[in-house]
Structure 1
Amino acid sequence: MSIYDSLVSASQFATAQWRVAQLEGRDEEKRLWSLVNEYRAFIGETGQVYLFEDYLKAGSPTSRPHVSTTLEAHKDATSRRVMELLVKAFNETPEPEQKRSASVLIHLLNFIADTGQLDALEDYVNNRLEYAPLAIACFTKRDEAEAWLRGLAEPPSPTHILIGDEYYRVWSSREDNTRGMYRDFVIEPYIEELAARGIPPSAPSFKTHEEAGAWLKIHPAAPFAFVSVAGEHYLAVHHKRLTHHSLHPVASSLMEWEEKKRAAERETAPEDAD
């Protein structure tokens, strides 16, 4: 089973446990099971799937898993309660496949703790809805990004990067040693929603992108803000982890997003009957 299949099975197990807790009115367990899938999403969005695979191979997913001493010593009580829930599920489930999924999730939380990412995880979970879509690196031009990707011994996969002011999805496959990137429309739904609420008439106005960038360094968006550059509205997006702002033209972004949605509808629409 591939690492991606293992994570999908583990996520399905967590979702099934969440549903049971919901049906039985166990609200705290329901909350903790929802966090389990947030933890899995953290690994995925930060491009650490293969790093986690290496960590997982060092242990045995079918044997009784240990609990990281780093996790036990950490101040965050929530992650410790999540671990207690996972260990309980591992001990109580009789089915081997479910036991394996519980073990994978235990190892996943141990991996986060042992790699010193518990604070980053807490920040991700608590602020995920307020932050811009995560990007792990930014580049001016595509050839710079491609050179970076080619030069990595172990590329992050899958994750997002920025090229100019556009999001790209980066991926790699250990199985056939391939890697690549493609434009991904992850910020456009945010632009659509925020623009629908109305662009403030008092949005800061600048003559050039350089002026807007200099101002945003001193007045960072939190994480979104509308600005005007040469008479055109842009959504400024603050990427806190990168200490960087991207500027997205509202009108053209919405046009591209509408075309993207129409294309997706055409692909999924059933063919007309003869």
Structure 2
Amino acid sequence: MQVKTDEALAEAAILIASRRQTAALKGRAEEEKLWLYLRTLSYFVHATGQVYRFEDALTRTEPTEQRHVSARLRAHKNTLAQPAVELLLHTLGETPEPEQKPVLVLIALLNFIAETGQLDDVEDFFSHHLDHAPVAIAHFTRHEEAEAWLKGVAEPPSPARILIGDEYFQFWYDREDNTRGMYRDYPIEPALEALTARGIPSQRPSFATRAEAEAWLMSHPANPYSFVAIAGEHYFAVHHPRLQRHSLHHVASALSAWEERKRAVEREAALEATAPSDGTRE
């Protein structure tokens, strides 16, 4: 079912892109902003691992309720949610019934976020997500802790990123067959590569120990990245506001791992390009 939900959100994204472009071409800046806000809703549910939760909300919505707007949404003083739902209702009214599904999905998405008390979180995500590091929803000290959590939770958030130590991992869960797993992810390495290419600042905070660096960063959070020195080595500090912590990435090691990952991807692509198609296999 998650695949179907992703497909529905993808159809909604196509509608948003078209309507946003039209608003931009006609100089309707406020309307364009609202379409951008609606596009962010899908990013938010994916980044926070709530696709299945939204799917359940969709499943519970009767056809007669699809045009219903949550009372909690109408009562909320959020500066963007209310005009966004009014825009969707207007769009629904001018859209032929066979083409209304993406609009109804977006109304349901706004209702879901309102009913789960996340309107303020979405507003903050919309305003600041480009200034924040990629979202990690949990932190674990050791890999075994993350594995135990992933296996022990009845329905883990999916898909979502977590931190194990200072490394990002992507984890996933398939409700259909109850399979789940995780793999190493590299969402910040491109930013690290680009920033180091410009040169690591010569004036940067320097600390004797990691504990000293962490204590200083708590009162001087990176926004969202900054370089620090620990015991003479360069580190990349990444701020995770949701987790109220920083991860610290040894620059030389992180860049080396990223180069190896890029080489592995290139090797995989080359093998796929040279592999015979099914019709030519012997």
Whether TM exceeds 0.5 here: the answer is yes
Alpha-carbon separation, structure 1, partners of 2:46 and 2:91? 23
Aligned to 1:245: 246
Aligned to 1:70: 72
Cα distance change of structure 1 residues 143 and 48 upon mapping to structure 2, 3 Å threshold: same
Query: Paired residue for 2:28, among 23, 26, 29?
Result: 26
Aligned to 1:180: 181
Is contact 1:61-1:104 (8 Å) kept? no
Alpha-carbon deviation of 1:62?
7.4
The gaps in structure 1 that reach 5 residues or longer are none
Aligned to 1:103: 104
Identity value in percent: 55
Cα distance per residue 1:155-200 (max 9 Å; x no partner)? 1011110000000001111111111111110011121222233322
Alignment of 1:35-46 (within 5 A): 35-46=37-48
TM-score (norm 2): 0.89
Aligned to 1:85: 87
Alpha-carbon separation, structure 1, partners of 2:53 and 2:132? 24
Larger CA deviation: 189-198 vs 46-55: 189-198
Aligned to 2:117: 116
Name the aligned partner's letter for residue 217 of structure 1. M
Alpha-carbon separation, structure 2, partners of 1:20 and 1:266? 42
Aligned to 2:195: 194
Alpha-carbon separation, structure 2, partners of 1:158 and 1:64? 26
Alpha-carbon separation, structure 2, partners of 1:193 and 1:95? 48
Alpha-carbon separation, structure 2, partners of 1:261 and 1:83? 42
Alignment of 1:106-185 (within 5 A): 106-185=107-186
Alpha-carbon separation, structure 1, partners of 2:192 and 2:62? 45
Alpha-carbon deviation of 1:246?
0.5
Alpha-carbon separation, structure 1, partners of 2:222 and 2:47? 22
Structure 2 SS opposite 1:242:
coil
* 2:29 pairs with 1:51: no
Aligned to 1:227: 228
Aligned length: 272
Cα distance change of structure 1 residues 92 and 60 upon mapping to structure 2, 3 Å threshold: farther
Name the aligned partner's letter for residue 223 of structure 1. P
Backbone CA RMSD of aligned residues: 2.1
Is contact 2:221-2:239 (8 Å) kept? yes
Is contact 1:61-1:100 (8 Å) kept? no
The gaps in structure 2 that reach 5 residues or longer are 276-282
